[in-house]
Amino acid sequence: MKKNTIYITIIAIFIIALGAIYYRYATIKAPSYAEQYSLLPRKGATANSPEWLKVKAQAYTLEQKIKANSADTKSLIQLSTLFIQEARATGNFAYYDKAAMKYVNDVLAQDEKNFEALTLKSLLYLSQHHFSEGLDMAEQAKTMNPYNSFVWGIMVDGNVEMGNYAAAVTDADSMLAIRPDIRSYSRASYLREIYGDYPGAISAMKLAVEAGFPGDESTEWCRVQLGHLYENTGDLLNAKMQYTIAAQNRPEYAYALAGLARIAVAEKQYNNAITYYQQADSSVTDFSIKDAMADVYEIMGKNKEAHTLRNEVIQAMSKEAESGNSDANIGHYVDKELAYAYLKIDNYESAEKHALLEYNRRPDNIDVNECVAWVYYNKGEYAKALPYIKNALKTNSKNPVLLCRAGLIYAKTGEKMLAKATLQNALSANPNITDMLKTESINTLQTL
């Protein structure tokens, strides 16, 4: 869930910020636009929300303005932003990111220096995991307006994803200096987590939640991230409280429900966990929710249901991966996610293929290095795993999953003292991680 990096917390706020910006209307004759996009029906409880009625009304108004004047760059930007926000609400990034990119490009066809269009395009690149392209475009936008906190946020995200962590910290400092708000606090939290400072990460995420408006998607996303920080530090009581509040403030919020599902698994309330995951899955399109549900089915011994979900996830992600490899403009790169999905069905060759595809794009990213290392560990190629896991630990991250994997790899490569210390560090707070990884880590620790 979280691996959609923290930049997604800014989208809902950006649409408000746009209302305060004065746009200059393009005076040149606009090209003819054959391809048009409209809102798709929502599913689940969100289809009946007052928010959805408001979104539909806004979209209709903007579409009518664009129909009357296809050179209306202000309305094109606003419709693009609305589509980006709708992608967050529904999880349908494949459709809405493409829609938003179409209208952003329409603006840039008229005005290639349009700042709002450039920042949105860089955000869309990040959303589709085209991180290098997104970072390059954000750099271009930053030179046009170095005092815009939104573009500094995109710089943070792009540098994190490309593994430029020192640059990301510098960018976050600039962002905080310009505008300390939910967007900058949440980024500060994420960076502190990357550098192993969980108390600092929790404090910063609390500030982010307090800076937001209860019920807004961005606020409740931050609250869910706060809950996950508590999970990683073994504080399940506070984690459950954050997820419960998020679900109350934003009814049927998928990521709050997924958080409650993880807590239910920790409490061995597996039927409740499945119910939460099914509710979450009914309202958004998110592979991680189906994948987590499959994990629970396996724990329950329902291997047929788990197998069905695993195949659904792999088929859907494979389709997106194909689009990412064939469309440099907007196709979604999901190779890291596919690598983990293939590991769960013991298809190690495909897992290695996709892990290395992602590594070749982002060799400095710690999560990508962790992925490659874990693939080699599962293949039994422990010596190959070692340099990647060491690179994954370069920021001193205290993520318990990463530390458990590192400890297991150290144990297999004969570094017993390091393995023991790493596994003890990983398990000391009793974090909420999968039973399989925790059990393997405990059993290995007992042999050291």
The 10s digit of each residue's pLDDT in 158-204 is 999 999 999 999 999 999 999 999 999 999 999 999 999 999 999 99
In which band, very low, low, confident or very high, does the pLDDT at 320 lie, cut at 50, 70 and 90?
confident
In which band, very low, low, confident or very high, does the pLDDT at 329 lie, cut at 50, 70 and 90?
low
Structure token digits, residue 371:
């992925």
The CATH architecture that domain 1-167 belongs to is Alpha Horseshoe (1.25)
- List Cβ<8 Å contacts ≥24 apart for 407-416: 407/441, 407/444, 407/445, 408/377, 408/440, 408/441, 408/444, 409/373, 409/377, 409/382, 409/385, 410/386, 411/444, 411/447, 411/448, 412/377, 412/382, 412/385, 413/382, 413/383, 413/385, 413/386, 416/448
What pLDDT is recorded for position 327?
61
Residue with tokens 């997924």: 258
Rg over alpha carbons for the chain, rounded to the nearest Å, is 22
Average per-residue pLDDT in the chain?
92
Closest CA relative to residue 380, chosen from 353, 352, 342: 352
- Encode pLDDT of 94-113 as tens digits: 999 999 999 999 999 999 99
What pLDDT is recorded for position 21?
40
Percent of the chain with pLDDT strictly greater than 90: 86
- Mean per-residue pLDDT for 359-373? 99
The full set of domain ranges for the chain reads 1-167, 399-448
CB distance 246 to 218 below 8 Å: no
What pLDDT is recorded for position 328?
55
What pLDDT is recorded for position 379?
98
Cα separation of 221 and 233, whole Å? 19
Tell whether the model's pLDDT for residue 9 goes beyond 50: no
